[in-house]
């Protein structure tokens, strides 16, 4: 990509939203339970890809967005700390951060202290999935 962008035939055609976020799990069963049973994602489809010795699980969220959970034999660990370039974390919108924090903690998940976003006025909190992927719960309404 160059420093200057050329206008092509995409004028007036904005991105419509996020379709899915793909996550690779080191322990498929553990991560499936975490995202489905603890976080409440809905299973849309589950496939075992024998040629890759890999599962692909499509999970739905109430707003129509999706997570794809993959398993691969012996994936390398993800570097989360120190923070590096690339995807920093995945944030989920919730109505009540306190209720979710309590739910997660009652199920053995370590959750950070609830913080306040000084720019939006909304509250948020961080925790991690079973592989250490940083996740955020963000209290508030969607952007319009």
Q: Which of 77, 67, 17 is nearest to 39 (CA)?
A: 67
Residue 7 forms part of a structural domain: no
What are the CA-CA distances from residue 123 to residues 63, 91, 92 (Å)?
20, 12, 12
Q: Counting every residue, how long is the chain?
A: 144
Tokens of 59: 């999970």
Task: Compare 48 and 78 and report the one with higher pLDDT.
Answer: 48
Q: Above 80 in pLDDT, residue 118?
A: yes
What pLDDT does residue 47 have?
97
What pLDDT does residue 5 have?
61
Residue 2 forms part of a structural domain: no
Residue 112 forms part of a structural domain: yes
Tokens of 30: 């553990």
Do 35 and 46 share a domain, yes or no? Answer: yes
Task: Compare 8 and 97 and report the one with higher pLDDT.
Answer: 97
Range of the structural domain that residue 88 is part of: 79-144
Mean pLDDT of the chain: 88
The pLDDT tens digits of the residues spanning 65-116 come to: 999 999 988 888 777 767 677 778 899 999 999 999 999 999 999 999 999 9
Q: Above 90 in pLDDT, residue 25?
A: yes
Please say whether the beta carbons of 63 and 107 come within 8 A.
Answer: no
Do 84 and 132 share a domain, yes or no? Answer: yes
The model carries a pTM of 0.85
Pairwise CA distance, residues 71 & 52, whole Å? 9
What pLDDT does residue 76 have?
84
DSSP string spanning 49-117? Answer: EGGGTEEEEEEE-TTS-EEEEEE-SSPPPP--SS--SS---EEEEES-HHHHHHHHHHTT--B---EE-
């Amino acid at each position: 990509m160059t420093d200057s962008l050329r206008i092509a035939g995409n004028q007036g055609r904005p991105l419509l939203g996020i379709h899915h976020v793909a996550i690779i799990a080191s322990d498929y069963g553990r991560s499936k339970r975490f995202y489905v049973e603890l976080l409440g994602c809905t299973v849309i489809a589950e496939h075992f890809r024998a040629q890759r010795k890999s599962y692909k699980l499509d999970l739905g969220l109430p707003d129509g967005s999706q997570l794809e959970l993959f398993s691969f034999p012996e994936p390398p660990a993800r570097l989360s700390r120190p923070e590096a370039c690339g995807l920093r974390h995945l944030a989920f919108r919730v109505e009540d951060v306190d209720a979710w924090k309590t739910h997660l903690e009652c199920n053995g998940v370590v959750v950070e202290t609830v913080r306040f976003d000084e720019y939006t006025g909304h509250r948020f909190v961080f925790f991690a999935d079973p592989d250490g992927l940083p996740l955020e719960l963000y209290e508030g309404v969607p952007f319009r």
